[in-house]
Structure 1
Amino acid sequence: MPRPLIGVTLDAEKPGGYSKFPWYALRQNYLDAIDAAGGLPIALPHEPDRVADYLQHIDALVVTGGAFDVDPSYYGGGDRHATVVTKDKRTAFEFAVTKGALDQNKPVLGICGGQQLLHVVLGGKLIQHIPDSIADALAHEQPNPRNEPGHTVAVAKGTQLHGIVGTEELAVNSAHHQAAADAPQGVVINAVASDGVIEGIEAPAYRFCIGVQWHPEFLISEGDAKLFRAFLGAAAAK
């Protein structure tokens, strides 16, 4: 059987570093993890007018992370916190393609900032800066390398995520200063850090709609590999 075609969102960078002109960026291990789980990844440029065309071809969507934030205007978050950095065209595209994928019941996996974007698409709000909102918060922007665990999360029994990873606790990496703030109708919280920060969400009304606040593409645990395999299994079951 042909491999499912997995659309993967890109980051966008201003001129400098790799090129003197604007450029797209994507860490290789996102694509490696999809390939290892049986998918054929394809990068999606930030063209909101092309969303319908992309969705005609892809079988599933991965919304990746990045060092930026969803504009609070998308979720009625009020004034921007001083730490908030936005990438407006990327967010406009990711919002549209994620909503379109869900409307067509295509599997969606949101990773780190991608989970936050997914949460907003599903009607949720975000904490704009964890240290200002959570007392005695963990170091969610971990000081050690991202290919090492930063803390653990408790996985809720009875959730789709729990059924996939088969454990009530996962060691995860952590590279974020924002997080989901609530559980709107249709959204289930499936993982939480010890300080109460929401680390995972899912929407059971859809075939596969899961967001995780960590970066499972680093495959720190077997649970990470199981998550990608489950996502690809859903993508293959057209």
Structure 2
Amino acid sequence: MKSHFPLIGVTLDSELPATEDRAGYSRFPWYAIRQNYMDMIAACGGLPVALGHDASQAAAMVARLDGLVVTGGAFDVPPDLYGASDQHASVQTKPRRTVAETDLIHAAMARGIPILGICGGMQLLAVMMGGWLVQHIPDTYPAALAHEQLNPRDEAGHAVNVVAGTHLARLVGQDRLAVNSSHHQAVGDAGRAVICATAPDGIVEAIELPGHPFCIGVQWHPEFGISAGDRLLFEGLIDAARQIRT
């Protein structure tokens, strides 16, 4: 009998070697992830496994997974991927990571396994769906909320309004969620995905792909478990992944 604990791949961040002028875990390139990503998946009944950035292995990795979580990080999707000719001064990219995550998402979609994109992971999903990004919220929307919140990330930064009738709404069972906020970019257009949550200022906060068993991206970081809806989102991912195992 197959395990009831589905295997969930979690993408890693990559960091430069530590130097005399730059602190870090190692003087060699290193991968990084916050413990709460893995802890939340485990608490919701999944078996989390970390995924490196070798794009040539993406299909082989996904072939063994029951679900995929594309995490966030302090970097941006390269603007050329969504047809932008200019790059804002604030934009920082990690091309090797983005190439690997793009291939992982392609493979996960081809297999029809559940996908959860978080923060930058949501933005990459939108771009892959044919959408584009606002490169720096304060420049484009000067009256917007503070989406890079000043208070700790394990506290709420603002609320989001969940669109009725969406997959996200069915999962969380609420029309409004308190969320944290740690991003300077935003989805300007979701392409063939649909918007399923927005901030009070109109900034896109969640997207989903109709027709896919579970393909949701959220702009906040639900691994912190700020509201009951955060855990319900992960439980929904694990439940969908469990169906792959049966």
Per-residue deviation, residues 187-221 of structure 1 (Å, max 9, x unmatched): 11000001110000000111100000000000000
Q: CA deviation at 1:68?
A: 0.2
Distance 1:130 1:45 in 2: 30
- Deviating beyond 3 angstroms after TM superposition, the runs of 4 or more aligned structure 1 residues are none
Structure 2 partner of 1:173: 180
Q: CA deviation at 1:78?
A: 1.9
- Which consecutive unaligned segments of at least 5 residues does structure 1 have? none
Q: Aligned runs of 1:1-238 on 2, under 5 Å?
A: 1-16=3-18, 17-185=24-192, 187-238=193-244
Distance 1:198 1:191 in 2: 6
Letter in 2 for 1:155: V
Q: CA deviation at 1:135?
A: 3.3
Letter in 1 for 2:11: T
Distance 1:45 1:184 in 2: 28
Would the aligned equivalents of 1:134 and 1:195 in 2 still touch at CA under 8 Å? no
Would the aligned equivalents of 1:200 and 1:212 in 2 still touch at CA under 8 Å? yes
Per-residue deviation, residues 119-169 of structure 1 (Å, max 9, x unmatched): 111111111111111130100000000000000000000000001111110
Distance 1:183 1:28 in 2: 30
Distance 1:223 1:52 in 2: 31
- What is the TM-score of this pair, normalised by structure 2? 0.95
Would the aligned equivalents of 1:8 and 1:41 in 2 still touch at CA under 8 Å? yes
Identical positions, percent:
57
Q: CA RMSD in A?
A: 0.8
Would the aligned equivalents of 2:129 and 2:190 in 1 still touch at CA under 8 Å? no
Letter in 1 for 2:5: R
Distance 1:183 1:21 in 2: 37
Letter in 1 for 2:140: S
Distance 2:190 2:132 in 1: 9
Per-residue deviation, residues 164-197 of structure 1 (Å, max 9, x unmatched): 1111100000000011111323x11000001110
